[in-house]
C-alpha cells in the first residue's frame, strides 16, 4: 500500500486517496468508521482529476 501511495504521489495524485484498513468480517463498526473516513476524505479531495472530463461529459 505504501508503494501504491508513493506511485500516486509521483504521478501527481493525492496519496491519501487509497488506504488499506485491516479488520475481520465481524467488525462492522470498524468497517463503518473506515468507510465514513474514506468518504469524508474523498469528498474533501474532490473528484479524481483524471476522470473529471468523462464525468462532465456524462452529465452534459
Partner 1 sequence: MIVGEQKPLDEIKGLIGDAENVLVMGCGTCVTVCFAGGAREAATVATSLRMSTKLDGAPKQITEATVQRQCEWEYLEEVSAAVEGADAVVSLGCGVGVQAIAEKFTDAWVVPGLNTSFMGIPVEQGVWEERCAACGECVLGITAGICPIARCSKSLLNGPCGGSEDGHCEVDPETPCAWQLIHDRLNHMDRLEVLMNPQPPKNWKASRDGGPRRIVRDDLRRAAEQEE
Cβ pair 23, 34 in contact under 8 A:
yes
60 Cβ neighbours under 8 A, 6+ residues apart: none
CB of 48 to partner 1, least distance (A): 10
Contact status: 12 vs partner 1 (CB under 8 A) = yes
Q: Looking at beta carbons only, is 7 or 23 nearer to partner 1?
A: 7
Cβ pair 24, 55 in contact under 8 A:
no
Judged by CB under 8 A, the stretch of 4-12, 17-25, 29-37, 39-47 that binds partner 1 is 4-12
Contact status: 50 vs partner 1 (CB under 8 A) = yes
Amino acid at each position: 500500500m505504501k508503494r501504491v501511495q508513493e506511485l500516486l504521489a509521483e504521478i501527481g495524485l493525492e496519496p491519501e486517496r487509497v488506504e488499506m484498513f485491516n479488520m475481520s468480517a465481524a467488525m462492522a463498526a470498524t468497517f463503518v468508521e473506515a468507510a465514513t473516513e474514506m468518504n469524508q476524505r474523498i469528498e474533501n479531495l474532490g473528484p479524481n482529476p483524471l476522470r473529471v472530463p468523462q464525468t462532465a461529459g456524462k452529465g452534459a
